Every structure is written in structure tokens, then in C-alpha cells.
Structure 1
Amino acid sequence: MHFVPQSRNTEERTGMHQPGGLRWTVGLAGSGPVSCVEPPARMPRARALELLRGSDNPSAYMALNQATSHFTVAGTDGFIAYRRHGGFLFQLGGGFGAPAARRTLLAAFRQFAQERACRICAVQLQEEDVALYREQGFCINQMGTAYTIELDAFCAAGSHFTRLRNKVSQARRAGIAVVELGVDAPRGSLEWGELFSISHAWLAAKRENTKLVEFMVGELGQPRDLERRVFAARQDGKIIGFISFVPVQGARPGLLHDLTRRRADAPPGVMDLINMTAIARFQQEGVRHLHFGLSPFAGLNPQRDRVAGKSWLLTQIAKGIYRHGACIYPARQQEQYKRKWHPHVALPEYVGFEGGFSLVGLWRLMQLTRTV
């Protein structure tokens, strides 16, 4: 369980409560500036995976993260994934499950938030979510852009990929071999121990130089989570880097390029070699799409960020972070990595603030995601 800093006066009480057919985790926060994240109330993993199959959100799998709670309504075929922080309930995507259930879920979730003196901030909303959230009084702004390549059309030949091919060749000359764990190599506790070791070292080094988004990214999980595919680079028998991929359903089914980790001394081109190897296998298997996920603050487009009632201030803040805010979040760097694969699809994702844009809510979101 992860806790954010809390004030001396913060008191938390947790449990399961079911008045009116709702299931939730009860948490009471005091007057401190930052409240603790509620211990998650979660539905069985298999059931959650089943409900995620109907979602067009390429990041839907993030709803399974261990620190994320699941809000459900009895008799309703779906759930809302959220985390509580600093007087806000931060919702990941729209409701997951049957489309007919989403309106009921949102109305109940708003009541749930009101009873806890919280406001809702929904992140990574899709275009099809916008109308419902506007109707429910949310201020909607474009949050960034999600990039996708269509694997049946992807080819790394041509001048566009010359630099990428050179980096891949450099990694191969260094003796790097890429394997898929559980297919080409064992997928057990020993291998997962190597992955965790690399991840912890990578995160420790990154924290000195850049900010790492949490909540809206995945986690390593366990070897038994077989729907999470892991491709690892090996040199002299040791894993030196890896990329994990998680399933995406809906209108553009395929896989999401999720965690990317490497050792500090890994040769140049290692991550490109891993991704290129994975793409080749996915193409052989007939996988249709490889999603690179959301690039926050990137690709802000006046033609798509035109939702009635949007916040002008939030638009200016997002543009400012993209252009000048690398110390807050490396938006340009993230976008450049995804664009170098020449994605075929670029779709907007949105953020919605219940009752209007809130600077406090934006600050709390940045705290939750560890961008500040």
C-alpha cells in the first residue's frame, strides 16, 4: 500500500460499506494539506479484466494497478477506477464496463464524492466520454495526445527510420539478444527479481533528473499475470533492459507499450532493439495495433480542444508546460520517442474537473502523479 505525506491531524478509517447498493472504501481525511490514499476496494481481477474488454481506452489496463480503487454499484455491469488524494477523487478514464452502465456509475460516483466532501477529476477521458461528462457539469480540456501504430502498415524501411535502424544495429553488435519471457526464456521469480532490480535502479537514477508519472502508468506485477508480456534484452546472460506490453481491447485492439526500463550501463539502442523485436513478433501473430499511450500536454489541437466551457487558463498552463516546463514533466521528450516510430493514429485525451477547473485540483493531480 502506498501512502502520500499526511498532516499530523489526518485521521483515516477504512472499511467496506454498502448502503443503497453501493460498495466503496470509507476514508475520512482531516484538515491537513495532503490526505492519505485510501486502501483500495477492489473487485476480483478476472472480473475486472472481463469488464475492461469493452473499453476503447488504450490505458484501461492501468485500472488494475494495486493502489487503485474500484467503485461499483450493485446490479450495474461496470466499475470506476480511482484514487483519493487531497480532497479529490481522481478517476482514470470513463467508467469501464457496459456502455449503458456508465451514466449510472458516474451519477453514483458523484454522490459518493459529495458525501465525502470531495470533488472528482477524471483523467484520460476519450472523445466518446466527453458528452456525458459535460452533461454532468464537468469542465473538459484536452490533456494531451495518445499515439498508435497500425502494425499491418508498419515497416521500418526507408529514410524515416535510418537513425533508428542504426541504433538497433549498434545494439546487436554489442551482443544484445532480446527474448520474450515465458516464450523464449523462463518467466519465474528469478527473472522477475532481475526486472525489479533494474526497475528500482532505473527509478532511483531518474528521480535525480526527471519526474515520473504514477497512477496513469502501469506496474510490473507478478509472473502469473500472463496477459502482461515482457520482452527483455540480455547481455552476457544478464537482463539489462526490458519493455512490458499490456492488452488493449475495443475499437483498436492490440497492445500498449507500457513500462520501459534499462540499466544505466546498457549500450545505446537497447530499448529500440527490444521494441523492434516485439513489433516483429506482434506482426507475425497478427496483432493489429501497438499503442504508445498518452503524452500529457503534447499535440494540443484547437480543432479537438474545443469543448464548450473549457478552461482557457488550463489550456495556457498545459501549453506552457509543454514548451517550457521540462523541469515539471518532459513532455517534448516523451512525444519525440513516440513520434520517432511514425504513428498512424494520434487521438486526443481529455481531463475533466467536476464543477469547473480547479488550480488546487491540478496541483493535487500533479502531486498524485509525482510530477511535483
Structure 2
Amino acid sequence: MSTPTRDAAGTVSAEYVLTAIREYSQSENPSSFLAVNEGNSYFTLPDRPGVVVYRPAGSHLIQFGGPFAPDESYEDLLLGFRAFAHDKGLTVSAIQLQERDARIYARHGFTVNQVGASYAVDLTTFTLAGTRYMQLRNKISRALRSGLTIIEADYEQWAEGVREIDRLWLPIKGEGARPLEYLVGQTGGAMQEHRRLFVGHVDGELIGYVSYSPVYGSNPGWMHDLSRRRPDSPAGVMEAINKAAIEVFRGEGVPWLHFGFTPFTSLSDDREVEGHSLGFKWLMHYLWENQIVYPASTQLAYKEKWNQSLVLTEYAAFDGKASIDGFVNVWRAANAM
């Protein structure tokens, strides 16, 4: 893999970043494919392999994950990116750091706190048998009896229907809802060939879809990413589509299905990093209990339906003290504010 220069940081190709997240998966970030989203910016150093992914927001550069880099250049990229931000009069805040990232960032003077968790299912032992999953099985059965047909689809053949569902889906989320970016995936574009799309239709009319992104590292597989449906779709459509995808993945020998990051969930005292902010810790618990910024309990309830067997704590990091302004700008970068 060729290494772009620091001066070319803004023009690093998505293909370079894709190679980096494939080859340098030490962070075990199940959401790493989001690094190639359109609209991201990239920072590199001369003769140092790897890349930092970020977006500017307010007075901050919001970094996604830790550097996607080998051990020998990881900390150089971390410190180089911080210096790059300081040169511009900006501050680094990072989101979706994994545990390994979190400890390294704390060692370099960042304040690091839990911010949520991601979840995954071991497909080698997956089952929906038993009374615990009776309600889910019944919900899927009702959706299928409504005439629902589920297929793995070519995106270009269904792109118009996907865009129409996207248009209709947003109002379901409530008045003033905005489409999230950065911390969720995309459909279409140059990277679509690496994703997989499963759709549900009734007599050829698309009523729901789930997009899956590749996951690398020691728990490889696919990540259940965007999932959207028509407002008038039958209950159980999304569950039926995901169950059909699971059956395909299991047939292929895929070991893991990831469900991605959910803010404010699975917070635990024993997972905090040394030097964390007590005030920020309180805020995360408050946001979980009150569901103000994000409907985390709804998202978690959907994910917990699928017999989760792996929970990965995710962290936020702030250059210096924990910063409410930095955290607000995380959500601004994600188009949530």
C-alpha cells in the first residue's frame, strides 16, 4: 500500500483507507467500514502507513475511531493529528474508540470516557429456538404471511426504491428529525460494491431494506447498518429481512453479525479508563435514563432481540479535559444537531 504525504491528507483515496482498515484492524472496531463514507476527511504522515479519519465541526476536528495504522505508526499518527489540529487552532475530540485505543489516548493526555457499546451475534451458535424468541418468531411469520418476499438485491436495480424509502422513513423518527451521517453507513457510491443489500418487497414494491457493511479483525463478518422501511409496512418487516440475511450468512460460514454502536448503553464502572471525567460519566448515564439526544433504548431493544453474545465498550476522548462543546460537535458532525 502506497503512503500519501501529509500535504495530501485531504485527497487520500477511499481505496487507500479501505486497505488500511482491512490491514490494520488491531483496534477491532466493528464500524471501521464507516471510515470510507463519502464526506470524510483523512490525515496521513509522510512515510508512516495508516490514516486518521475525521470531520470538522465547530472548533473541533471529530475523529472517527483511533488511527487505522500498524503499531509502529499508530502513536505518530495520533500525535501528528493532534498537532495538525492545534496548528489550525482546533481541538481533537474522538468518538467510537475501542478499548485498546482508549488506553493509548489516555496515556497521551486525553480524557477518555465510556460513551456506549456495540453488539454482535456469534452466528456459529445462533438460534431463535425456545420460548425466549417465540414473540420474534411470530412477528417474522406474520410479516411473511402478508406477502413479503425477501431477496439479496443488486443496489442499482433497487436504488430508486431505496431513495423513496429514505424519503418516507425520516418522518417516522419524529418532527425535526435529521438523517444521521458519519456514525452510520451509506448506500450507493463507489463503496457500494463492498456492501450487501437485502430488501423486502410485496409484488415488486419495495417496503424495507437492510444494508450490511463488512467487518474486519478477529471477529469478522457483517454489520447490520442502515435499516429502513415504509411507514405503512407490516410489523416485523425489518426482523424478517434480518433473519433472511442471517440464514444466508450462516450458509456461507460467516462467523459474526455485528449490530453497530448504540450511544449511552451498557455503561459500567469497571470499564472506565483511568483519569476519566466523573462529570462526563454522569452525563452519559443521564442521557441513557432520559433518552434526550438519541433513542438508545429503542435501538438497544431491537439489537437484544437477536441473542447478542459479544458486547464491545466504545469510548469518547477529548484533548485535555472532557468537553461538552466537543461532545456537542460530535453530534453536529453526525448531522444530529
Q: TM-score, normalised by structure 1?
A: 0.85
- C-alpha separation between the residues in 2 aligned to 1:91 and 1:262? 30
C-alpha spacing 1:65/1:207, structure 2 compared with 1 (3 Å): farther
CA contact (8 A) 1:192 1:222 kept: no
Q: Given residue 256 of structure 1, which amino acid in structure 2 is its aligned partner?
A: M
Residues 237/223 of structure 1: CA separation in 2 closer, same or farther (3 Å cut): farther
CA distance in 1, matches of 2:287, 2:177: 14
SS in 2 for 1:303: helix
Whether contact under 8 Å (2:180, 2:336) holds in the other structure is yes
The answer to whether the 8 A contact 2:6-2:46 is kept is yes
Aligned-residue CA RMSD (Å): 1.7
Whole-Å separation in 2 of the counterparts to 1:84 and 1:209: 23
Corresponding position of 1:191: 158
Q: Which has the higher contact order (CA 8 A, sep 6+)?
A: 2
Change in CA separation of 1:343 and 1:135 when aligned onto 2, cut-off 3 Å: same
Is the 2:139–2:235 contact (alpha carbons within 8 Å) kept by the matching residues of 1? yes
Q: Percent identity?
A: 36
Q: What is the Cα deviation at residue 211 of structure 1?
A: 6.2
Asked whether 1:22 is paired with 2:9, we answer no
Conserved 8 A contact 2:171-2:177: no
Separation of aligned partners in 1, 2:224 and 2:37: 16
Which shows bigger deviation, 241-250 or 96-105? 96-105
Q: Which residue of 1 aligns with 2:35?
A: 63
Aligned to 2:274: 308
| Partner secondary structure for residue 193 of structure 2 | coil
1:33 aligns with none
**Aligned to 1:180, what secondary structure does the other structure show?**
strand
Change beyond 3 A, Cα 1:146–1:94 = same
Shift of 1:78: 0.5
Q: What letter corresponds to residue 281 of structure 2 in structure 1? A: T
Aligned counterpart, 2:315:
350
Q: Distance in 2 between matches of 1:242 and 1:295?
A: 20
Give the letter for the 2:211 counterpart.
Answer: S
Aligned to 1:248: 215
The answer as to 2:133 corresponding to 1:167 is no
Aligned in 2, Cα 1:193/1:42: closer, same or farther, shift over 3 Å?
farther
Say whether 1:48 aligns with 2:20.
no
Partner of 2:192: helix, strand, or coil?
Answer: coil
Would the alpha carbon gap of residues 230 and 212 (structure 1) be closer, same or farther in structure 2, given more than 3 Å must change?
Answer: same
CA distance in 2, matches of 1:349, 1:291: 14
Pairing partner for 1:117 from 82, 89, 93 = 89
Give the alignment partner of residue 232 of structure 1, picking from 199, 204, 217. 199
Provide closer, same or farther for how the CA distance between residues 90 and 64 of structure 1 changes in structure 2, counting only shifts above 3 A.
same
Figure out how many residues of one structure are paired with residues of the other and give that number. Answer: 331
Distance 1:294 1:352 in 2: 16
Contact 1:210 1:327 in 2 (8 A): no
> 1:222 and 1:367 mapped to 2: Cα distance?
23
Amino acid at match of 1:119: T
Which structure: greater helix fraction?
Answer: 2
Tell me if the contact between 2:41 and 2:55 (Cα under 8 Å) persists in the aligned partners. Answer: yes
Per the TM alignment, residue 204 of structure 1 is displaced from its structure 2 partner at its CA by: 3.9
- Distance, in Å, in 2 between the alignment partners of 1:24 and 1:43 is 6
Q: Which moved more, 1:336-345 or 1:275-284?
A: 336-345
CA distance in 2, matches of 1:330, 1:211: 13
- Is this contact kept in 1: 2:63–2:92, CA < 8 A? yes
1:332-343 map, 5 Å = 332-343=297-308
Q: CA 1:42/1:276 → structure 2, altered by over 3 Å: closer, same or farther?
A: farther
1:221-242 superposed Cα distances (whole Å, 9 cap, x missing partner): 2387221100000101111100
Q: Deviations over 1:323-347 (max 9, x none)?
A: 11x2421111111111111200111
Match of 1:359 among 294, 315, 324: 324
Matched, 1:294 2:261: yes
Q: Which of 125, 132, 137 is the matching residue for 1:153? A: 125
**Cα distance per residue 1:226-274 (max 9 Å; x no partner):** 2110000010111110000000000100011100010111111100000
1:140 aligns with 2:112: yes
Q: Which residue of 2 aligns with 1:262?
A: 229
Over residues 252-299 of structure 1, what are the superposed CA-to-partner deviations in whole Å (9 max), with x where a residue is unaligned? 000111000101111111000000000000000000100001110001
Deviation at 1:98, TM superposition (A): 1.9
CA positional deviation for 1:147:
0.5
- Residue 274 in structure 1 maps to residue 241 in structure 2: yes
Amino acid at match of 1:206: K
CA contact (8 A) 2:20 2:50 kept: yes
Q: Is the 8 A contact 1:211 1:329 kept in 2?
A: no
